[in-house]
Amino acid sequence: MKVASTRTNFDVETIRKDFPILSREVNGKPLVYFDNAATSQTPQQVINAIVDYYTRYNANIHRGVHTLSQEATDAYEQARVKVQKHFNAAQSHEIIFTSGTTHAINLVASGFSSLLKEGEEIIVSALEHHSNIVPWQMLCERTGAKLKVIPMNDDGTLNMKEYEKLLSEKTKLVFVNHVSNALGTINPVEEIIDKAHGVGAAVLLDGAQAAPHIKANVQELDVDFYVVSAHKMCGPTGVGMLYGKEEWLKKLPPYQGGGEMIATVTFEKTTYADLPHKFEAGTPDICGGIAFGAALDYMNSIGFENIASYEHELLEYATEKLQEIEGLRIYGTSAEKTAVISFNICDIHPYDIGTIIDKLGIAVRTGHHCAQPVMDYYKIPGTVRASFSFYNTKEEIDIFVEAVKRAKNMLS
């Protein structure tokens, strides 16, 4: 597999031309899309891969001797290898295609139902998305295990001293997001993993918010499970991946039963297929997997160092501009964060600000961002969240800031 070389000159205007949606208008204004943490936009190169699949070789995979099936199978499995190499997994069969991060987390949680015992403990953090809270609560209900929580600090970081106190020989699993979706905080995952392994616990990292900004190396991290969604990194919705160390994936039972995940079936007994098919029951999102690979090719052609550097510029610029607005408070002020700004202005409800600036063509996310414990910590109903990507510009930030000022004046 050959990945396109990294661009030496980062030209945002040239990059923007790859995204057809960025040329449209919303409510008569040029679109300013700052909701990238919810879903990123899709470049023409990925759209072309989707169209190519459906116009040239649409067929079911792994099951046909005919040419179209073989071509589809090859493209799908090549995409798996692209994912493997991007995240530096040791084996391609350690990559399980899923419908997204939520599916991947639930797959692991379901598997541990047969491994976890009553009285054992699992740990999550106070910064988690609901998708990395609810499945573990359900797991505790099924097994009698106890859920413990790493508390957060006022700046949106985790209290690592308290984390160390939570760890014990009873700890079997630790689940933490690599990056907070609500605040943008980059968690000290290397330390979290090392300390968890020190007591014999496995670690799952929710990489949904990290993957668009950070090229995670799962072997260097020594993480046991890593999960992502393609739609947050220029790919389509409805597809994602679970990385799991081979030793763990072999221990976990299948998540679903059906076709593809079996070796033999009789009415007396069924034996399961080898990895990765053991966890991929039924016809997968073939086109989605192929497009996921195309999205990784695209982002790697730009270069993650280039992306990180440019997005940091946007973050600093937007932070400085927004802080000039009287009464505006930013939540999540860690020195280590991705290009996300969550804020409120005085007593104005975030929904009202989001609604007004939408009329000016600006897309942001408002609410609790599926992270209600974070909002409860700050004693607020939610925030306005502006999240930037490498195809955004400082000129768009200027438009956004002026719109926020206008909304404040209207609502004060």
Active site members: 370
CA 98 vs CA 46, 234, 240, 261, 308: distances in Å = 19, 17, 5, 14, 26
How far apart are alpha carbons 192 and 195 in whole angstroms?
Answer: 5
- The one-letter code for the residue type at 287 is C
The Cα–Cα gap between 7 and 93 comes to 30
Helix axes 44-56, 286-302, angle to 10 degrees: 150
d(CA 261, CA 258): 6
Residue 15, classified by CB atoms within 10 Å of its CB into exposed (0-12), middle (13-18) or buried (19+), is buried
Residue 265 neighbours by CB under 8 Å, 6+ apart: none
Beta strand pairing status for 146-150 and 121-125? parallel
Q: How many CB atoms lie within 10 A of CB 194?
A: 13
